[in-house]
A and B are shown apart, each in its own frame.
Chain A
Amino acid sequence: MAGKRATRPITIVTGFLGSGKTTLLGRVLSEPSMSNTAVLVNEFGEVGLDHHLLRRVDERAVLLGGGCVCCTTREDLVEALLELLDLDQRGEIPRLDRVVVETTGLADPAPILHTIFADPVLQHHFSVDLVLTTVDAVNGDLHLDRNPESVKQVAAADKIVLTKTDVAEPGSVQRLHSRLGAINPSAHVLEVAFGEADPGELFRPDGAVSRAVPGASAGESHETGETNSVSLSFDGPVDWTAFGIWLSMLLHARGEDVLRVKGFLNVGGSGPVVVNGVQHTIHPPEHLDRWPDENHRSRIVFISRGIRPDQLLGSLEAFRGLLGARPLSLGAEQGASSP
C-alpha cells in the first residue's frame, strides 16, 4: 500500500433554519485555501453555493435496533463519502484536504457522527474533527426557546458561530453569548457578520481540544431553562476501565438525555484521554502522550437534559471505589425553570 495517510478531517456545519450556514460556507469556500475541500449539502438553498467539489445528499436515515434517533445510520452520507474516498484514492480529484458536511436546519448532528464512527470503512479513512454550529444573533433566542433541535445543535458544537451580529442589538448579542455559554461551556464562540470568517480560524480543530475545559464560565450561574451543564474533576487519576463501564452504562440508560460529554481525563498515564461524545455516540477516545498545558487534572463537562448535576456527581461518588478517585464539582450551570 502507498504511504499511510492520516484520516481525512470532516467538519460538520449545523445550525437552525436561516441561521446563516450557507452564507458562511459560501464565503469561506471562495477562499483559495479551501479549494481541496469537498462539501456535502442536503439542499441547494436559495443562496447558491458554487464549488467544484459540491455534492448533494438526500437525507436517508436507517433506524437501527433500539430505535433511538441518534443511532441512525445516514446511508446517503456513507455513499457520498465512499464516492469521495474512491475519487481521492484513485487520484481523480486533487488530494482531499477536508470534507464539510452541511446539515439541514432541523437536523440532529448525532446521527452524522454515529454514521462515520460506525461504518467499517469510513471509520478508518475519516475523522470528525469539528462540529460547527451557527446561531443567528437576531433570532437565536427564539430558536433556542422553541426548538429542542436547536439546543441539541448548540450542545453538540465544538465551535459556535454567532451570525448576523451586525444587525442584532448589542445587548441581545451579549445575552445570547451567556446563554450559549450556559448550555455548552466547552464550545468556543466566534462572532461573524456577513459570513466574513477566516477559514483558518473557523476550521482549526486544536481550539476544540484545548477548550475541552470549562473556562471562564465555570461557576457562573445562568438560566437556560432546558439543559444542565456540570463541569467536574477528580481528586486523582481515574481508572479508565471503570470510567468506560460507568459512562457506557449511563449512555445506555440515559443516552438521549446526555447531550454532550467532553473533556480530558487523567488516567494516570503521561497524557490525558480526550473524551468527546454526543448523546450515544462517543468519538474514539484519544489517549494523548502528553498534556497540552500545565494543568494535569481531569476536566470534563456534561451537558444534559433532565439529569441534575447532583445526580451525576452522586453516581460518580458511589462509583468512587471502582473509579479510584472522587468527583469534584468545578461548577454547575443549571437550567432553572423557576427562579
Chain B
Amino acid sequence: MCVLCGQDFVAQVHWTDRHLEDRARAAAPGSDPTEHQRDRRRERAHRVALTRKVLRHYGLKLDDWGGSKYVLRDGKGRSEIVQDLGSFWPAAERLAGRTLDPLEPRLVEALGEEPAYAATDGG
C-alpha cells in the first residue's frame, strides 16, 4: 500500500463506482443497509462478467475478491489485486504486456463476431 500515490487509499472513488457511493449516501437514515450491499454485489458480479468477455482476448481472467477488490490473473499464474477500473487497466497492461485498447482492430474484429446477448439490468 502506498500512501503517496493513493493506491489502496479509498478516499477516492473511481467515476465508474460513483453512482453506488451516491446512492448509499442519499439513502434515508434507518433504511436497510443490506439493500445497498446487494446492489453493490450485483453490480460487481455484472462488471466481472462483462470485463471477462474483453479480457478473454488477452488471456486474462478477473474475479471478485471478497467484494472489495478484484483479482486479475494471467495464464502463467501471475496475479494483481486492483481496487477499481482506474487501477485495473494499468495492471492488465502489465500482465498482458501490451496496452489494452478498445480501438485495436483485432479486438474489434473478435468482439464483433460474437453473438450479441441481451443486456441484463442497465443500472
Contact A318 B107 (CB under 8 A): yes
Chain B residues within 8 Å of A317, by CB = 108, 112
Q: Is B103's CB under 8 angstroms from A312's CB?
A: yes
B22 near A287 with CB under 8 A, answer yes
B interface vs A, CB < 8 Å? 5-6, 9, 11-12, 14-16, 18-19, 22, 43, 46-47, 50-51, 53-54, 85-86, 88-90, 93, 99-103, 107-112, 114-123
A252 near B100 (CB under 8 angstroms)? yes
Q: Which of B9, B11, B116, B122 has the most CB of A within 10 A?
A: B122
Please indicate which of the listed interface residues A241, A249, A285, A324 has the most CB atoms of chain B within 10 Å of its own CB: A241
Task: Give, as a whole number of angstroms, the nearest-CB distance from A257 to chain B.
Answer: 10
- When the two chains form their complex, are residues B123 and A240 in contact, meaning their CB atoms are under 8 A apart? yes
Complexed CA–CA distance, A242 and B95 (Å) = 22
Nearest CB of chain B from residue A289's CB, rounded to whole Å: 11
Q: CA of A284 to CA of B27 in the docked complex: distance in angstroms? A: 18
A118 surroundings in chain B (CB, below 8 A): 6, 12
* Chain A residue nearest in CB terms to B112: A318
**A241-B50, A254-B103 given as contacts; is B123 within 8 A of A269 (CB)?**
yes
CA distance A82 to B34 in the complex (A): 35
A284 to B112, CA, bound (A): 30
16 intermolecular pairs with C-beta atoms under 8 Å apart: A238-B122, A239-B122, A240-B19, A244-B47, A248-B85, A248-B89, A249-B89, A249-B100, A253-B89, A253-B100, A282-B15, A284-B18, A311-B103, A318-B108, A321-B115, A324-B118
Name which of B12, B18, B54, B103 has the most chain A CB atoms within 10 A of its CB.
Answer: B103
- Tell me, yes or no, whether A123 is within 8 Å of chain B by CB: yes
| Besides the known contacts A118-B12, A241-B50, A314-B103, 6 further A-B residue pairs in the complex with CB atoms under 8 A apart | A238-B122, A240-B123, A250-B102, A253-B102, A285-B15, A314-B108
Q: Which 6 A-B pairs have the closest CB atoms?
A: A324-B119, A244-B16, A252-B89, A120-B11, A253-B101, A268-B122
| A17 CB-CB contact with B under 8 Å | no
Query: What are the interface flags for A314-327 relative to B under an 8 Å C-beta threshold, 1 for contact and 0 otherwise?
Result: 11011111111100
Contact with B along A218-261 (1 / 0, CB 8 A): 00000000000000000001111110111011101110000000
In the complex, the chain B residue whose C-beta lies closest to that of A281 is: B15
Q: Is the pair B51, A318 in contact by a Cβ cutoff of 8 Å?
A: no
Query: Taking beta carbons and an 8 Å cutoff, which residues of A are in contact with B?
Result: 64-66, 118, 120, 123, 237-242, 244-246, 248-250, 252-254, 267-269, 273, 282-285, 287, 307, 311-312, 314-315, 317-325
Q: Are B108 and A253 in contact (CB under 8 A)?
A: no
Take A64-B5, A120-B11, A248-B85 as given contacts and tell me if A321 and B117 are in contact as well, using a CB distance cutoff of 8 Å.
yes
Tell me, in angstroms, the Cα distance from A142 to B2 when the chains sit together: 45
B100 touches A285 (CB 8 A): no
In whole Å, how far is B73's beta carbon from the nearest beta carbon of chain A?
Answer: 18
Supposing A315-B108, A320-B116 touch, asked if A250 and B103 sit within 8 A by C-beta, the answer is yes
Whether the pair A322, B50 counts as a contact (CB closer than 8 A) is yes
Closest to B23 in A: A287
A238–B121 Cα distance when bound, in Å, is 10
Determine whether the beta carbon of B86 is less than 8 Å from that of A248. yes
* B90 in contact with A66 (CB, 8 Å): yes
- Contact between A268 and B90, CB atoms less than 8 A apart: no
In the bound complex, residues from chain A placing their C-beta under 8 Å from that of B16 are 241, 244-245, 248
A244, A273, A285: most-surrounded residue (chain B CB, <10 A): A244
Contact A315 B53 (CB under 8 A): no
The residues of B that contact A239 with a CB separation of less than 8 Å are 50, 119-120, 122
Chain A residues contacting B112 (CB-CB under 8 Å) are: 314, 317-318
Q: Determine the residue in chain B with the shortest Cβ distance to A246.
A: B102
Determine the chain B residues whose CB is within 8 A of the CB of A323 once the complex forms: 119
CA distance A240 to B119 in the complex (A): 10
A51 to B5, CA, bound (A): 36
How far apart are the CA atoms of A269 and B112 in the complex, in Å?
Answer: 27
The distance from the CB of B15 to the nearest CB of chain A, in whole angstroms, is: 4
**With a CB–CB cut-off of 8 A, which chain B residues contact A249?**
54, 89, 100-102
Across the interface, name the chain A residue whose C-beta is closest to B110.
A318
- Residues in chain B near residue A66, CB distance under 8 A: 90
The residues of B that contact A64 with a CB separation of less than 8 Å are 5
